Structure 1
Amino acid sequence: DSLSVIYQMEVGYDADGDSSATFSTRNSFLGLGTQVGKIFAGRYDSVVKLAEGKIDQFNDTVADMDTVFLGQRRNSNSLNWESMDLGGIVVRAQVAPGEDDVVGSVPNTKTKDGLTDTWGLSATYKQDALYAALAYEKSYTEVAVGPLGVGADLKTMRGSLGLNVSSNVALGAIVERSNLDPYGGADGDLMSYLLSGKFGVSERVALKAQAGMLDSSDLDLDVATLTLGADYKLGDFTTAYGLVSASDTDFDPAGTINDVDESGMAFSVGMIHKF
């Protein structure tokens, strides 16, 4: 009675044909539910990504927080453990082997072949109106610089705090510190920040606002975003939305001539149906 099989298959579908792959693997796993929690293997969100909770008011839209956060990762070949609910506290752990991944471009490459090339730990607390989380992950990534892929080790720590002030008002904040250590280069720290808010003006209409920032003096990089939007509830499972988002990017590393100083605007309308 204390043992169960758990599974999930989540697939992304490219409806307009812009992607090179029509289907993509999202959170998919097979595992066991036990007295000590859930144990499962597959492709799954990192513990840092899961720590965002529902604070990102524009999740899975053009204004998603991943524009200013490095920790929004979904890891393949992962083994995961999620504890039982311990009075509102849930602990998570994840490891993933590199499986001989070659990261970077010649001559600065590394082959990841360890059992724990990616690993992470987190703790979340959710009770009534309060949500809080702290998460850490050590992994690796590849950053495109011109025609080359620069490999780097990546360490990320995230703290999240969400508060439902009332049934109509929600506020949230996320702070993330990342360390990017390129193969063959000097490492650099990056700080990411997010502030979000949602205000329900009626039973059907909610107004939303969100500001995000990525700042790194080591890399001479600054990215800032500001988004305003509104939701209109069409039914219990269906919501229409609209948003407008402004962004500004300043990338001016020492010793380069192709500096980036750009601003942009995005407008989006859409509909979400949950089933």
Structure 2
Amino acid sequence: MKTIKLSLVAAALCSVMATPALANTVQIYGRAHLSVDSLDNGVDSGTNVSSNSSRLGFRAKHELDGGLEAFMQIEQNIRFDEGSGNWASRDSFVGLKGGFGTVRIGQFDTPLKNVRGKVDMFGDRVGDIRNLTRTSTAGATNANIGNVFDERYRNGVAYTSPKFGDFVFDFHYTPHNNTGATVDNIQESYSMSVAYEVKGFYAAVAYETFEGANGLDPNAVRVGLYYDLTSDLRVSGMYQTASDVPGGDRNVYGLGTSYKMGDYTLRGQYYVAGKNDVAESGANMFVFGVDRNFGRALTLYAAYAVTSNDDNANFRVTAGGRDTQLNTVTGQDAKALSLGVVYNF
């Protein structure tokens, strides 16, 4: 019996080795991003360790006849700080690519979220722009305000066009952004963008809307861009206007910059959340930092961020891509000093 099993294993290995080298490709990848942070909620402060969008992923693709390619990805969040994780909690999908473009089905970022990711100088760090685009005022949480853009929608069906010149169109439809089956398609959502990108320049406009609570249909228009003034100096900016959300319409806008000096990169950004229908409900966020780069694999960084809140606002400085977040006391300023390490594999 043992001889038979060994023979079957050998036959299977020979079969795999006989497959054309380019027909199947499987990749294991990931990121370990951790930071040690001094966090201040406006009244008290403490020292914390945070795992920030750390991940483990698996990708596979298979070349088909007619120039088609089938592909899949499974990606999960890994809590290096607390020793836990959620399987397939990040972008996980199956898709088909060809001359017609790319189609994906699964759970993944929306086109609106991707625009922010391209221009955010502090993505997944303290001072991430999502501190202003995903939260509200007076103690409200994302669960009850219906003002959550920058999300990863469930049950998504998406199409990405081939390049038309340097333009690309993205469309994402979610019939039901929840778990289980539905008969009424509550929480239906749409997200789309048009982007223009060449070396050293990126500009995009995106629109997103979804069915929210209390008869509201929150929607947002977002414009983002970056431009490399030199090979070392980049400037970026983003503007978002959100409508039909609890508390009233709100605009978020700002600028960022980065400058490379050999193995070091200096970066900073300043963003403003305008007030909504509630008086004294706006905020200003400023963050600056420095990276020490050791190639693509390793980056060490330091960053300091402050979110200055109006009397009725409680925007954070630790939201967006961070697993350890600290709520801000309403009307107080949130502060964070962060020392981080990012290891890509």
* TM-score, normalized by the shorter chain, greater than 0.5: yes
Give the equivalent residue in structure 2 for 1:274: 344
Match of 1:138 among 209, 214, 218: 209
Contact 2:255 2:270 in 1 (8 A): yes
Structure 1 residues 54-133: aligned runs within 5 Å = 54-70=118-134, 71-98=149-176, 113-114=184-185, 117-133=188-204
- Taking a change above 3 Å as real, the CA distance of residues 240 and 140 of structure 1, as seen in their structure-2 partners, is farther
Contact 2:187 2:212 in 1 (8 A): no
**Rg larger for:** 2
- Taking a change above 3 Å as real, the CA distance of residues 265 and 252 of structure 1, as seen in their structure-2 partners, is closer
Match of 1:153, SS state, is coil
Q: Is 1:165 the equivalent of 2:229?
A: yes
Match of 2:108 among 38, 44, 60: 44
Unmatched segments (≥5 aa) in structure 2: 1-65, 135-148, 314-328
Contact 1:224 1:247 in 2 (8 A): yes
Structure 1: which 4+ aligned runs deviate by more than 4 Å? none
CA shift digits 1:22-65 (9 cap, x unpaired): 32611111011122111011111111111124311111112211
CA RMSD of aligned residues (A): 2.5
Contact 2:127 2:306 in 1 (8 A): no
Larger RCO (CA under 8 A, 6+ residues apart): 2
Match of 2:241 among 163, 177, 187: 177
Q: Size of the alignment, in residue pairs?
A: 248
Read off the aligned partner of 2:192 and give its amino acid letter.
L
What percentage of aligned pairs have identical amino acids? 24
Q: TM-score, with normalisation over the residues of structure 2?
A: 0.66
Q: Is 1:7 the equivalent of 2:67?
A: no
Match of 2:130, SS state, is helix
CA shift digits 1:113-161 (9 cap, x unpaired): 328810121100001221000000011456xxxxxxx784210110011
- Taking a change above 3 Å as real, the CA distance of residues 231 and 81 of structure 1, as seen in their structure-2 partners, is same
CA shift digits 1:1-38 (9 cap, x unpaired): 321102111111112228xx632611111011122111
- Taking a change above 3 Å as real, the CA distance of residues 99 and 268 of structure 1, as seen in their structure-2 partners, is closer
Give the equivalent residue in structure 2 for 1:22: 85
Determine the C-alpha separation between the residues in 1 that align with 2:215 and 2:80: 32
Read off the aligned partner of 1:92 and give its amino acid letter.
D
Contact 2:103 2:157 in 1 (8 A): yes
Q: TM-score, with normalisation over the residues of structure 1?
A: 0.82
- Taking a change above 3 Å as real, the CA distance of residues 189 and 265 of structure 1, as seen in their structure-2 partners, is same
Give the equivalent residue in structure 1 for 2:323: none
Q: Which moved more, 1:244-253 or 1:262-271?
A: 244-253
Deviation, 1:216, is 2.4
Determine the C-alpha separation between the residues in 1 that align with 2:335 and 2:100: 48
Match of 2:249 among 176, 189, 195: 189
Match of 2:118, SS state, is coil
Q: Is 1:237 the equivalent of 2:302?
A: no
Read off the aligned partner of 1:218 and give its amino acid letter.
D
Read off the aligned partner of 2:342 and give its amino acid letter.
I
Unmatched segments (≥5 aa) in structure 1: 102-110, 143-149, 254-258
Contact 1:98 1:112 in 2 (8 A): no
- Taking a change above 3 Å as real, the CA distance of residues 198 and 224 of structure 1, as seen in their structure-2 partners, is same
- Taking a change above 3 Å as real, the CA distance of residues 122 and 33 of structure 1, as seen in their structure-2 partners, is same
- Taking a change above 3 Å as real, the CA distance of residues 211 and 151 of structure 1, as seen in their structure-2 partners, is farther
Contact 2:154 2:177 in 1 (8 A): no
Determine the C-alpha separation between the residues in 2 that align with 1:165 and 1:92: 27
Give the equivalent residue in structure 2 for 1:107: none
CA shift digits 1:228-249 (9 cap, x unpaired): 1001012342111110001112
Contact 1:96 1:115 in 2 (8 A): no
Give the equivalent residue in structure 2 for 1:249: 309
Determine the C-alpha separation between the residues in 2 that align with 1:167 and 1:122: 27
Give the equivalent residue in structure 2 for 1:215: 274
Read off the aligned partner of 1:273 and give its amino acid letter.
Y
Q: Higher strand fraction: Structure 1 or Structure 2?
A: 1
Read off the aligned partner of 1:196 and give its amino acid letter.
G
Contact 2:154 2:178 in 1 (8 A): no
Q: Is 1:206 the equivalent of 2:265?
A: yes
Q: Higher helix fraction: Structure 1 or Structure 2?
A: 2
